[in-house]
Amino acid sequence: MNIGDVADLSGLPAKTIRYYEDIGLVAPLRSSNGYRSFRQSDVHKLAFLGRARALGFTIEDCRSLLKLYADTERASAEVKEIAEVHLERIDGKIAELTEMRATLSHLVKACAGDQRPDCPILADLAMENKADPGKKASG
């Protein structure tokens, strides 16, 4: 199979598939004309990668997961460990974003959003209410 077909099947852009070959995640064969020639197993791998990436796993996670997948002697504990670390990463990000969201939505609500220059958003960013912008807030 050529890269275009594999792109259609796996849902990954051809560019991405080439990149994955570059970094050693897949190793398709080559036809005599120089075209990459993908086997079913390559397509399977790429689909696996697509789903792992969709779950937010890093490329290095994906590399480890592929290795574990290939190893029928693996302990599921190793897979679970990777997933748990990733889950915590996600939780961290969600927490961070949720905090940002809270502050930001508060500010957006407070802003009139009209033609006047007065703006609580800018005021907050500039800490205009703060007398001494160099010390930590006391509250």
Partner DNA sequence: GTTGACCTTCCAGTTACTGGAGGCACCATC
Partner DNA sequence: GATGGTGCCTCCAGTAACTGGAAGGTCAAC
**Alpha-carbon radius of gyration of the chain:** 24
Q: Which is nearer to its own copies, 26 or 65 (CB)?
A: 65
Residue 34 or 122 having the CB closest to its own copies:
122
SS (H, E, C) 77-139: HHHHHHHHHHHHHHHHHHHHHHHHHHHHHHHHHHCCCCCCCCCHHHHHHHCCCCCCCCCCCCC
Residues 78-117 that bind its own copies (CB under 8 A): 79-81, 83-84, 86-87, 90-91, 93-94, 97-98, 100-101, 103-105, 107-108, 111-117
Q: By CB under 7 A, which span of 10-18, 39-47, 79-87, 121-129 interacts with DNA?
A: 10-18
Decide whether 32 or 53 has the Cβ nearer to its own copies.
Answer: 53
Backbone angles phi, psi at 32, to 5 degrees: -65, -25
**Contact between 132 and its own copies per CB under 8 A:** no
